[in-house]
């Protein structure tokens, strides 16, 4: 079962913040976040392995609410380089990716 | 390490022809995944292997698709016969599996397949 991401797309001005949500109808063992730039392969950002865990990567951080079967990705003070499509991946017995959230950061 | 290697990078073929995509995972990784990406359907998991054994092929769209992993350093995805709707970017990814939990996946550059 594919996780559900929201929003589908978001446009920001440089310096603005954004939140991308990921939810699953199944119990989650871990949540993975990837970013894909146009014409390139997805690149790993971070994994959250247990409920309540939060992680950060530069000004990008994420949280994992195991009970609610949800994860959120927080982009703070966005930069032009943050543009791309963000995927969450949920691991139960295998890996399933959400449909992606297209993030565009404008000057 | 060279990363995940896929070949060819681009493939253009005619409907009905056989297509074989190749993947060399990162040495030491024991999980390998094949994905298909299209605008309409996003990133779809086709099949994955753990220690060269296919674990779940429920994502393989039809019997025209088959995948093999004869050893730890090589995998193929074959489409026979190919159809225009198979046109997509096919990614291979590998990951070290530990404790039953999936770690970071390293994606190859992808193969862009066009079936005319």
Q: Per residue, what are the HEC states of A24-76?
A: CCCCCCEEEEEEECCCCCCEEEEEECCCCCEEEECCEEEEEECCCCEEEEEEC
pLDDT at residue A95, as a whole number: 77
Contacts of B104 in chain A (CB under 8 A): 32, 44, 47
pLDDT at residue A42, as a whole number: 95
Average pLDDT, chain B: 92
pLDDT at residue A93, as a whole number: 64
| Mutation site, B54, B102, B103, B108, interface A, largest A CB count within 10 A | B102
Alpha-carbon separation of residue B56 from A93, A95, B34, B101 (angstroms): 9, 10, 11, 15
Contacts of B26 in chain A (CB under 8 A): none
pLDDT tens column, A17-74? 999 999 988 877 788 999 999 999 999 998 887 766 666 677 899 988 878 788 999 9
When CB atoms are compared, the residue of A42, A87, A91 closest to B101 is: A91
When CB atoms are compared, the residue of B56, B91, B103 closest to A94 is: B56
Pick the residue from chain B with its C-alpha nearest to A44: B104
* Interchain CB contact of A4 with B (< 8 Å): no
Average pLDDT, stretch A75-94? 89
For chains A and B, what is the number of CB pairs under 8 angstroms? 47
Q: State which residues of chain B have pLDDT below 70.
A: 1, 98-102
* Interchain CB contact of A43 with B (< 8 Å): yes
Contact assessment for residue A75 and residue A18, using Cβ atoms and an 8 Å cutoff: yes
pLDDT at residue A29, as a whole number: 76
pLDDT at residue A25, as a whole number: 84
pLDDT at A91 over 80: no
Contact assessment for residue B75 and residue B25, using Cβ atoms and an 8 Å cutoff: yes
Backbone angles phi, psi at A28, to 5 degrees: -110, 140
Contacts of B112 in chain A (CB under 8 A): none
């Amino acid at each position: 079962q594919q996780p559900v991401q929201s929003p589908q797309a978001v446009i920001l001005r440089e310096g603005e913040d954004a939140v991308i949500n990921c939810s699953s109808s199944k119990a989650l063992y871990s949540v993975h976040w990837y970013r894909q730039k146009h014409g390139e392969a997805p690149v790993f950002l971070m994994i959250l392995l247990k409920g309540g865990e939060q992680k950060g990567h530069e000004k990008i951080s994420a949280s994992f609410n195991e009970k609610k079967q949800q994860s959120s990705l927080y982009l703070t003070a966005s930069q032009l380089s943050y543009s791309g499509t963000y995927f969450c991946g949920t691991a139960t017995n295998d890996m399933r990716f959400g449909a992606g959230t297209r993030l565009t950061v404008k000057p | 390490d060279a990363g995940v290697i896929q070949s060819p990078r681009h493939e253009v073929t005619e409907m009905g022809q056989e297509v074989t995509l190749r993947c060399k995972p990162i040495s030491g990784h024991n999980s390998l995944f094949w994905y298909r990406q299209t605008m309409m359907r996003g990133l779809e998991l086709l099949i994955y292997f753990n220690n060269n054994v296919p674990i779940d092929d429920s994502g393989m769209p039809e019997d025209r698709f088959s995948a093999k992993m004869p050893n730890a350093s090589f995998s193929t995805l074959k489409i026979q016969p190919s159809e225009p709707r198979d046109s997509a970017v096919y990614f291979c990814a590998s990951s070290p599996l530990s404790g039953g939990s999936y770690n970071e996946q390293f994606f190859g550059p992808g193969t862009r397949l066009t079936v005319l």
